[in-house]
Amino acid sequence: MAELQAGGTQVAASPRLPAGSAPGRTGAEDSGCGELVWVGEPAVFGQADSIAGKYGVWMRDPQPVAPFTRATTWRVDTVGTEVRQLFQYDDAEQFAKGYPAKVHILPRAMESTGAVVFRGGLYFQQRRSRRLAKYDLQAEAIVAERELPGAGYHGQYPYSWGGYTDIDLAVDESGLWVIYSTEKAKGAIVVSKLDPDTLEVQRTWETNIRKQSVANAFIICGVLYTISSYTAPNATVNFAYDTATGTSRLLSVPFQNRFQYVSMVDYNPAERQLFAWDSFRMVAYPIRLAQA
């Protein structure tokens, strides 16, 4: 795929395979922050073998806590009404073969594909509520819970593909975020920074793009990016909102929905890649940023 040209210097955002997988072409270890200008072709790292895995979420912790490492991979198949199973894989080979080292049973059922793993905890939205939870992966217990004030849930303000994707957690270089909407925002995307220990909202931004008009969203370096379609083979990253400046702009960065049903996209700041779930398949995209 041809790279888009942007002003300033292009900096490779480490277009390597996820930690623990086969060696690949590597870029700079730390390329700094900048605008997203290129998303490469997705590589497949795992595949679900039942209808429960048509859509789901897979994750690696960018700041793991022992005994877990950056190679530890986590997966949740999210088709069903009582989603409680969190699959743990110790390395990429286990993950590719689909043989978990352990299965955690969550004390609360999870809603949709918005979960993330960060600093030794699984953060997720509880089923049929605007209540967030932090599940400590080592203690195997919920250690924090909090309602997200005013957040729509269970089909009020989902992404365009549906799936009750009203509340979408995200991680970037600066920490933990949540992407959602409220009645006050009239369906526009709202972004809040969260305290990872207490889940308290630290600061909130309201954007000017409707949540139901985009297929997915993720955050890189404090910038919210949205994806135009979850099914079109040649979709685009079509919008950016910078929380540092409160400004937004339209984009047209090509994004491939290779298997034409992308139900989750998350940025991993340690891997400098996008992780996604595309019609039973767990894939990762290399990216490139441009620095001014």
pLDDT 10s digits, 149-168 = 999 999 999 999 999 999 99
Q: What pLDDT band is residue 11 in, cutting at 50, 70 and 90?
A: very low
Whether the CB-CB separation of 227 and 216 falls below 8 Å is answered with: yes
Q: What is the CA radius of gyration of the chain?
A: 17
- For residue 292, what pLDDT is reported? 58
* Structural domain contains residue 22: yes
Determine the average pLDDT of the residues in 276-292: 93
- For residue 179, what pLDDT is reported? 98
pLDDT at position 1 over 80? no
For residue 164, the number of C-alpha atoms closer than 13 Å in the C-beta half-sphere is 21
* Cis ω for the linkage preceding 196 (within 30 of 0): no
Residue 47: what residue type? Q
| Residue 157 to residue 222: CA distance in whole angstroms | 22
* Structural domain contains residue 234: yes
Chain-wide mean pLDDT for the chain? 90
CATH number of the domain where residue 191 is located: 2.40.128.630
- For residue 5, what pLDDT is reported? 25
106 against 292, higher pLDDT: 106
80 against 11, higher pLDDT: 80
Q: Look at the chain and report how many structural domains it folds into.
A: 1
Q: Per residue in 226-254, pLDDT tens?
A: 999 999 999 999 999 999 999 999 999 99
Range of the domain at 35: 9-291
In the block, tokens 């905890």 appear at 121
pLDDT at position 4 over 50? no
In the block, tokens 């490469």 appear at 40
- For residue 24, what pLDDT is reported? 30
* Structural domain contains residue 247: yes
- For residue 267, what pLDDT is reported? 98
pTM listed for this prediction? 0.89
- For residue 120, what pLDDT is reported? 98
- For residue 256, what pLDDT is reported? 96
* Structural domain contains residue 1: no
- For residue 29, what pLDDT is reported? 38
pLDDT at position 17 over 50? no
pLDDT at position 10 over 60? no
* Structural domain contains residue 275: yes
φ/ψ bin of 162: left (φ > 0), alpha (ψ from -120 to 50), beta (otherwise): left
Q: What pLDDT band is residue 21 in, cutting at 50, 70 and 90?
A: very low
pLDDT at position 26 over 70? no
- For residue 161, what pLDDT is reported? 94
